[in-house]
Amino acid sequence: MKKYFPVIACVVLLMSCSSWRSDKYVLQSNPIFDAQIETKDFYSFQLTIKNKSNDNIEILWDKTLYIELNSTNGGFSLGTEKLYEEKDNVIPKMIIFPGDTASRYIYPIALRYWHRGWCRNIMDIGKHGMYLNIKAGDKEYREKMIINIAKE
């Protein structure tokens, strides 16, 4: 019996572990743009935007916020920071031309911390997303986009 105990313990441990899954959010109701967010690594979002208008559109990064468990919690970065001094870097302007689609991986600043280099916490089980703010001409469009992370 003693020689089988480690095998039984491993089987029980593996059976109790479950993987996480996430849905994706697809926005198609806005007349100016389509947008989609999803996460595959639980550290970042992949944001994809298609400009449906005849004018350029711009993502207003200073007004686009991370949503964690039903409230906003800071903004985003591109995840390219290497030094501590780069913590306040601003995401460069992102202009999307008429008819074009753009995609970026963005990282919630609230999940970032410094420990001899930048480290990131994962998005925990629950609702996460973004409050997206896009400028088209003189008008701003705001969209709340939420995904759900759950155990399978």
The 10s digit of each residue's pLDDT in 85-130 is 888 888 999 999 999 999 999 999 999 999 989 999 999 999 999 9
Q: What's the rounded Cα separation, in Å, for the pair 120 and 3?
A: 40
What is the model's pLDDT at position 40?
Answer: 86
Q: What is the pTM of this model?
A: 0.83
CB 25 within 8 A of CB 34: no
The domain 19-151 having CATH identifier 2.10.260: the answer here is no
* Domain residue extents for the chain: 19-151
pLDDT tens sequence across 51-84: 999 999 999 999 999 999 889 999 999 988 888 8
